[in-house]
Amino acid sequence: MLVSDTIHDLVIVGSGPAGYTAGIYAGRAQLAPVLYEGSVTAGGALMNTTEVENFPGFPQGIIGPDLMDNLKAQCEKFGTKLVRDDIVEMKLAGDIKVLTDGSGNVLRTKSVILATGSAYKEIGLVNEKRLSGRGVSWCATCDGFFFRDQEIAVVGGGDSAMEEATFLTRFASKVVLIHRRDSLRASKIMIERATANPKIEFVWNTEVIDVLGDQNVTGLKLRNTVDGTESERAFTGLFVAIGHSPRSELLLGQVDLDPEGYVKVDGRSTRTNLPGVFACGDLVDHTYRQAITAAGTGCEAALDAERFLAGH
Ligand code: NAP
């Protein structure tokens, strides 16, 4: 275990648009922030996205990982130290916060910005977990390629499901979108794109109750949510796109969370219930959950941290 004498002004936990934007602002404010990007999750959810069409300033669109590379380079330009590791333990009460990383380094800091984002939700089926990586996936851009000329299912009715289904038609012979209700939650433009795609079939009022297959996915067991009838249908892949949950496990018992696990912040600010601890991005956001809103709250968190440090 490596314990440094240094007391940092600010450590940012998490990358993605929120963490990196906090890094840009705090670096530029000369707070010499250390930003923990995460060992496997560096760059956050946009690393698994294709084209981002609605981030202001890019009229031609930009590929998700390219956008994250740009934000990262902008952090480095202002002297933010990026660490490709996880924070595995945090003690956030008191004037000096103590954080331990995955390599055993112990950092002490006067303030912390939490920007750990959210993780893919699972349906919660035993065989979904067992067959994960063997036909069950949460990331079309990562795994779509493996399903060339196959018939696959996507579960969900939001923008993620529309995006995944549309993207998967590049590879699959057919994509069946299974939704538990008879209307979609997704935005109009995404629905139009998916419904216009001849390779996508919609199956309404249906939930997945089991994933079938011994070594690999061979099919799904389905239940009609209106009349309760059950059926089976052959698929070689299942893409789960049913939303995200905040990644706040490490914060349990320390920072106030709401019943769904999102970090509670004070009004329009990024202040948590603990002085010197700020939260931003998908970790606090039930509602908007866009790259640009995450970046906006990352900026706010850096400004809140800067003001806090100036007052102490
Ligand atoms: P979401 O909007 O919360 O939608 C989740 C969908 O999954 C809903 O249709 C929900 O059904 C369904 N669902 C939830 N739990 C389920 C379960 N256990 N079994 C079956 N179905 C379940 O999540 P999202 O699509 O990931 O989008 C999250 C946010 O990111 C949104 O604000 C979205 O606009 C944004 N986003 C934007 C883009 C883009 O603009 N390019 C792309 C992706 C995501 P119900 O409808 O019945 O609740």
Pocket test for ligand 1, best of 52, 54, 141, 180 (most atoms within 8 A of CB): 180
Task: Answer whether 207 contacts ligand 1 (Cβ < 6 A).
Answer: yes
Residue 250 confidence (pLDDT):
95
Cβ proximity of 53 and 63 under 8 Å: no
Give the helix/strand (H/E) hosting 3. Answer: strand 2-13
What confidence score (pLDDT) does residue 133 get?
Answer: 86
How far is 4 from 152, CA to CA, in rounded Å?
51
143 is catalytic: yes
Q: Which residue has the tokens 């993207």?
A: 167
- Residue 113 structure tokens: 């910005």
Per-residue pLDDT of the chain (312 residues; tens, 9 = 90+): 667 789 999 999 999 999 999 999 999 999 999 999 999 888 888 887 778 888 999 999 999 999 999 999 999 999 999 999 999 999 999 999 999 999 999 999 999 999 999 988 999 999 999 999 899 999 898 789 999 999 999 999 999 999 999 999 999 999 999 999 999 999 999 999 999 999 999 999 999 999 999 999 999 999 999 999 999 999 999 999 999 899 999 999 999 999 999 999 999 999 999 999 999 999 999 888 889 999 999 999 999 999 999 998
CA pair distance 49, 87, nearest whole angstrom: 24
Kindly give the distance from the C-alpha atom of residue 89 to the centroid of ligand 1, in angstroms, as a whole number: 30
Tell me which H or E stretch contains 72: helix 64-77
Give the separation between CA 116 and CA 196, rounded to whole angstroms: 36
For residue 129, the SS3 value is: helix
DSSP per-residue codes, 206-228: EEEEEEE-SSS--EEEEEETTT-
Angle between helices 16-28 and 291-310 (to 10 degrees): 40
Contact 167, 50 (CB under 8 A): yes
Q: Is 285 known to be catalytic?
A: no
Task: Provide the whole-model pTM.
Answer: 0.82
| CB distance 223 to ligand 1 below 6 Å | no
Catalytic one among 66, 95, 142, 266?
Answer: 142
* Sign of the alpha-carbon dihedral angle for 199, 205, 207, 213: negative
CB of residue 64 inside a 6 A radius of ligand 1:
no
User: Residue 60 is encoded by which pair of tokens?
Assistant: 């031609």
In our burial notation (b when 16+ CB lie closer than 10 A, e otherwise), range 241-280 reads: bbbbebbbebbeebbebeeeebbebeeeebbbebebbbbb
Output the pLDDT for position 1. 62
